[in-house]
Chains A and B, each alone.
Chain A
Amino acid sequence: MPNLFTLVLQITVILAVCRLTGTLFRRFHQPRVVGEMFAGILLGPSVLGWISPQASAYLFPPSSLGFLNALSQVGVVIFMFLVGLGIDPKKLKHQSHAAVLVSHVSITAPFVLASLLALYLYPRLSDASVSFTNFALFMGAAMSVTAFPVLARILTERDMMKSSLGNIAIACAAVDDVTGWCILAYIVVLIRSAHQATSIWVTLGGIVLFAAVMIYGVRFLLRGLERTFHKYGEISENRMAFLLLLALASALCTERLGIHLLFGSFLMGAIMPKEPKFVRYVLDRFETITITLLLPLFFAFTGLRTNIGLLSGPSMWFYCALIILVATGGKLGGSTIAGWLSDMPLRDAAGLGTLMNTRGLMELVILNIGLDIKVISPALFSMMVLMALFTTFMTTPVLELICPDQALRPAPQKISVAEVSLQEIA
């Protein structure tokens, strides 16, 4: 049984610290999520555990972390459902050449550079139980992700959602997220199947069957929910509970199929009807408790797993700097070049590259999966968390430097994937 006092104390402290740092970072024009990520590190062994090991041991005894983790994972499952809800696959079909090129390059450039970096890091930060292929593919997937919700928030705050640059950025981020999650699902299946009796083809067949049932069966049920909403202007509590049950059942199916809980909830969100008012209604029901209560627990849990003390010695810090350099070069550099080659002004292309370099919460989700399946070591996890924090932190100041007048430029056309963005996340 969990020690209830410890658990409630942990939640109280985490919420207070996350709110404080989030508010503080907002004063410096940073998205709240950066402050909350930072709060997680403050509460972990890197800061609190280093300054006061006794306080850290009292507040976060190892025996209590399982319960904190369980709560935070429930939060991330619901969060991934909301992320999927914000993405409209239909709108991604009609992208301009620029959006297609930038979105694909913003995946391949960091992916290939990360794999190249893996040649150097694998003998230094991994071990013989992880194959190079799995290590390199994971590094690629982790470095090519873009934080769709954080990006949507930054664009909204800067009034760029309707601008040409904002439109391309949000479409590319959506493509990156969907592609990144597909690649990651493949890697997780590959790694897990190596240790399971079930053949990888059986697993892949199961996943395809599950996706078909979701897309052609469950989506039909969900349209009924949308119709009810249009008829009555609201959805009953029973139907909302049913929706939540479907999301959780979908998560359980993907976990049972050997991928991960999060893929199921993401897919459930992605197949939801995308009529903006309906999406907004569903988001309103789930957002507050997820974002104000459950996600800070995830940030704290991630912070508890991040130990900057493991980066001892200049060589470790060199690897960390190299990771940040490669991640930024691949994402920012690749997107900038692709944008420029698509006839965008160089300044706009650089602004787009900067936006695409935002990794935020999505990166932390992927890194936690990597640490869980042990494809990355604790030291590498800590380095990658620092990279996520750095690349997310740099977005706003660099964007202000490159595109100070970006909000003034109108969008000429289409795509607004995140008209219904996850407003409060950042």
Chain B
Amino acid sequence: MSGTNRKFVFAYAFLVILPLLGLAGILKSGRGLQAPASIDGLWSLQLDSGQLASLPCGKVLAAIPDQAISISQSGNSFVLSFPSAPKITASGTLDGTTLQASVNDMRASKESGCADGQPFTMLATVDRRADSRILAGTFSPTNCPTCASVGFKAERQAAASPKGDH
């Protein structure tokens, strides 16, 4: 074997084969890692609209025609939106199995007299499973400790575990 060939073989072993063996180790050690619970997808919402409408600033949320919420998740943070009311969005965080989000209603101050830009807080819990399908929690007016909370339940629709499908 010539000097150039020997150098090539050593370089190839050191820079290609060795890292590939390292990759196998990385993939093995990563299997023990735990990612946040999955909440991404479309959820159908079940709540008492009448009770929600009776709360300060609740009319806007209660008036949403299609009771569905869409959650776009990035690790521990998520963005929540209402497909039939695109102007209403919420951003929040996931801590273990607990979700907390502030609902930003762009129409709130104009139409329902809500002075605050974030009239509602959503607090919910989810099963800690990859295909968790049930979300349960409450909507409550922000900055109103005396106001009641409205409970809700949401069920994940078909796209529960589609990681891999278009």
**Which residues on A sit within 8 Å (CB–CB) of B12?**
100-101, 104
Closest 4 CB pairs of A and B: A379-B74, A377-B74, A191-B164, A129-B38
- Contact partner, B36, options A115, A127, A375, Cβ 8 Å: A127
Could you pull out 23 A-B pairs where Cβ atoms are within 8 angstroms? A97-B5, A104-B16, A105-B15, A105-B16, A108-B15, A123-B33, A127-B38, A128-B34, A128-B37, A128-B129, A129-B38, A129-B131, A130-B35, A194-B163, A310-B74, A338-B15, A342-B11, A372-B166, A374-B163, A377-B75, A378-B72, A378-B79, A380-B74
When C-beta atoms are compared, the residue in chain B nearest to A187 turns out to be B164
Interface residue SS majority, chain B: mixed
Q: Does A212 contact B (CB under 8 A)?
A: no
Total A-B Cβ pairs within 8 A = 147
- Contact partner, A97, options B8, B20, B129, Cβ 8 Å: B8
Q: Does B27 contact A (CB under 8 A)?
A: yes
**Which residues on A sit within 8 Å (CB–CB) of B76?**
124
Map CB proximity to A onto B7-32 as digits: 1 under 8 Å, 0 otherwise: 11001100110011011001101110
Interface footprint category on A: 35 or more
**Contact between A101 and B35 (Cβ–Cβ < 8 Å)?**
no
**Contact between A122 and B23 (Cβ–Cβ < 8 Å)?**
no
Q: Does A337 contact B (CB under 8 A)?
A: yes
**Contact between A129 and B40 (Cβ–Cβ < 8 Å)?**
yes
Question: CA A122 – CA B106 in complex, angstroms?
Answer: 33
**Contact between B15 and A337 (Cβ–Cβ < 8 Å)?**
yes
**Contact between A112 and B30 (Cβ–Cβ < 8 Å)?**
no
Map CB proximity to B onto A60-98 as digits: 1 under 8 Å, 0 otherwise: 001000000000000000000000000000000000010
Interface footprint category on B: 35 or more
Identify the B interface with A (CB < 8 A).
4-5, 7-8, 11-12, 15-16, 19-20, 22-23, 26-27, 29-31, 33-40, 72-77, 79, 86, 91, 106, 128-131, 161-166
- Contact partner, B162, options A115, A195, A312, Cβ 8 Å: A195
- Contact partner, A342, options B8, B40, B161, Cβ 8 Å: B8
- Contact partner, A130, options B27, B91, B129, B163, Cβ 8 Å: B163
When C-beta atoms are compared, the residue in chain A nearest to B10 turns out to be A341
**Contact between B35 and A112 (Cβ–Cβ < 8 Å)?**
no
Question: CA A192 – CA B161 in complex, angstroms?
Answer: 11
**Contact between A127 and B30 (Cβ–Cβ < 8 Å)?**
no
Identify the A interface with B (CB < 8 A).
53, 57, 62, 97, 100-101, 104-105, 108-109, 111-112, 115-116, 118-119, 122-130, 132-134, 136-137, 140, 188, 191-196, 310, 312, 334, 337-338, 341-343, 372-375, 377-380
**Contact between A122 and B35 (Cβ–Cβ < 8 Å)?**
yes
- Contact partner, B15, options A101, A137, A194, Cβ 8 Å: A101
**Contact between A124 and B79 (Cβ–Cβ < 8 Å)?**
no
**Contact between A194 and B74 (Cβ–Cβ < 8 Å)?**
no
Among A100, A112, A192, residue most surrounded by chain B Cβ atoms (within 10 Å): A112
A39 to chain B, nearest CB (A): 24
With known contacts A115-B26, A132-B27, A136-B30, A108–B74 Cβ distance under 8 A = no
- Contact partner, B164, options A126, A128, A373, Cβ 8 Å: A373
For the complex with contacts A123-B75, A127-B73, 13 further pairs of A-B residues with Cβ separation under 8 Å are A112-B22, A118-B26, A119-B26, A124-B75, A125-B74, A125-B75, A129-B163, A133-B31, A195-B165, A312-B77, A373-B165, A374-B163, A379-B77
